[in-house]
A and B are shown apart, each in its own frame.
Chain A
Amino acid sequence: MKNRWITYPYIVWMILFIVVPIILVLSYSITLESEQGLSFTLENYKRFFDPLYINVLIHSINLALISTTICLILGYPMAMIIARAPIAYRNMLVLFFVIPMWMNFLLRTYAWMSLLERSGLINRLLTSINLPSLNLMYTNGAVILGMVYNFLPFMVLPIYSVLIKIDKNLIEAAQDLGANDLKVFLKVTLPLSLPGVFSGVIMVFMPAITTFVIPRLLGGGQFTLIGNLIEQQFLSSGDWNFGSAISMFMLVVILFSSGLMGRYDKDREGMGLW
Chain B
Amino acid sequence: MVGRFLKRLYGSLIYIFLYAPILILIVFSFNDSRSRGQWGGFTLKWYKELFTDSQIMSALYYTIIVAIISALVATLIGTAASIGIHEMNRKQKSLIMNLTYIPVLNADIVTGISLMILFIFIRLDLGLVTLLIAHITFNIPYVILSVLPRLQQLDNNLYEAALDLGATPWYALWRVIIPEIMPGIITGALFAFTLSIDDFVISFFTTGSGVSNLSITIYSMARRGIKPQINALSTIMFITVLLLLLIIDSRANRNIDRKENA
Known pairs A100-B22, A114-B37; A9 contacts B80 (CB<8 A):
yes
Quick check: B108 and A210 within 8 Å, CB to CB? yes
Partner-binding segment picked from A50-58, A105-113, A186-194: A105-113
Quick check: B107 and A91 within 8 Å, CB to CB? no
A-B contacts, CB under 8 A, total: 226
Enumerate chain B residues within 8 angstroms of A254, measured Cβ to Cβ: 105-107, 110
Does B2 reach chain A (CB closer than 8 Å)?
no
Most chain A beta carbons < 10 A, residue from B81, B83, B84, B109 = B109
Does B169 reach chain A (CB closer than 8 Å)?
yes
Give the CA-CA distance A17 to B77 in the complex, in Å.
14
Enumerate chain A residues within 8 angstroms of B7, measured Cβ to Cβ: 81
Quick check: B200 and A17 within 8 Å, CB to CB? no
Quick check: A14 and B100 within 8 Å, CB to CB? yes
**Among the listed B87, B117, B201, B246, which residue makes an inter-chain contact with A3, where contact means beta carbons less than 8 Å apart?**
B87
Quick check: B215 and A102 within 8 Å, CB to CB? no
Within 8 A of B (CB), among A212-247: 212-213, 217, 227, 230-231, 234, 240, 243-244, 247
Give the CA-CA distance A239 to B182 in the complex, in Å.
47
**Among the listed A6, A82, A234, which residue makes an inter-chain contact with B81, where contact means beta carbons less than 8 Å apart?**
A6
Q: How large is the interface on B (under 10, 10 to 19, 20 to 34, 35 or more residues)?
A: 35 or more
Quick check: B115 and A108 within 8 Å, CB to CB? no
**Among the listed B19, B77, B242, which residue makes an inter-chain contact with A9, where contact means beta carbons less than 8 Å apart?**
B77
Known pairs A78-B11, A210-B109; A110 contacts B226 (CB<8 A):
yes
Per-residue contact bits, chain B 48-66, to A (CB 8 Å; 1 contact, 0 not): 0000000000000000000
B186–chain A nearest beta-carbon distance, Å: 17
Give the CA-CA distance A8 to B83 in the complex, in Å.
11
Give the CA-CA distance A74 to B231 in the complex, in Å.
29
Give the CA-CA distance A213 to B205 in the complex, in Å.
13
Quick check: A24 and B105 within 8 Å, CB to CB? no
Enumerate chain A residues within 8 angstroms of B21, measured Cβ to Cβ: 108, 111-112, 115, 149
Quick check: B137 and A13 within 8 Å, CB to CB? yes
Known pairs A21-B117, A111-B24; A10 contacts B200 (CB<8 A):
no
Per-residue contact bits, chain B 186-216, to A (CB 8 Å; 1 contact, 0 not): 0000000010011011000100000000110
Does A263 reach chain B (CB closer than 8 Å)?
no
Does B245 reach chain A (CB closer than 8 Å)?
yes
Quick check: B37 and A22 within 8 Å, CB to CB? no
Quick check: A106 and B222 within 8 Å, CB to CB? yes
Does B133 reach chain A (CB closer than 8 Å)?
yes
Interface residues in chain A, defined as those with a beta carbon under 8 Å from any beta carbon in chain B: 1-11, 13-14, 17-22, 24-25, 28, 74, 77-78, 81-82, 91-93, 95-115, 117, 119-121, 124, 149, 152, 206-207, 209-210, 212-213, 217, 227, 230-231, 234, 240, 243-244, 247, 250-251, 254-255, 258, 270-274
| A-B contacts, 10 listed (Cβ < 8 Å) | A10-B140, A25-B117, A107-B218, A107-B226, A121-B37, A206-B105, A206-B107, A244-B117, A271-B148, A272-B101
- Given A9-B81, A10-B77, A230-B109, 12 other A-B contacts at CB below 8 A? A7-B83, A10-B84, A95-B245, A99-B241, A104-B215, A110-B222, A121-B24, A210-B107, A227-B109, A234-B116, A247-B110, A247-B113
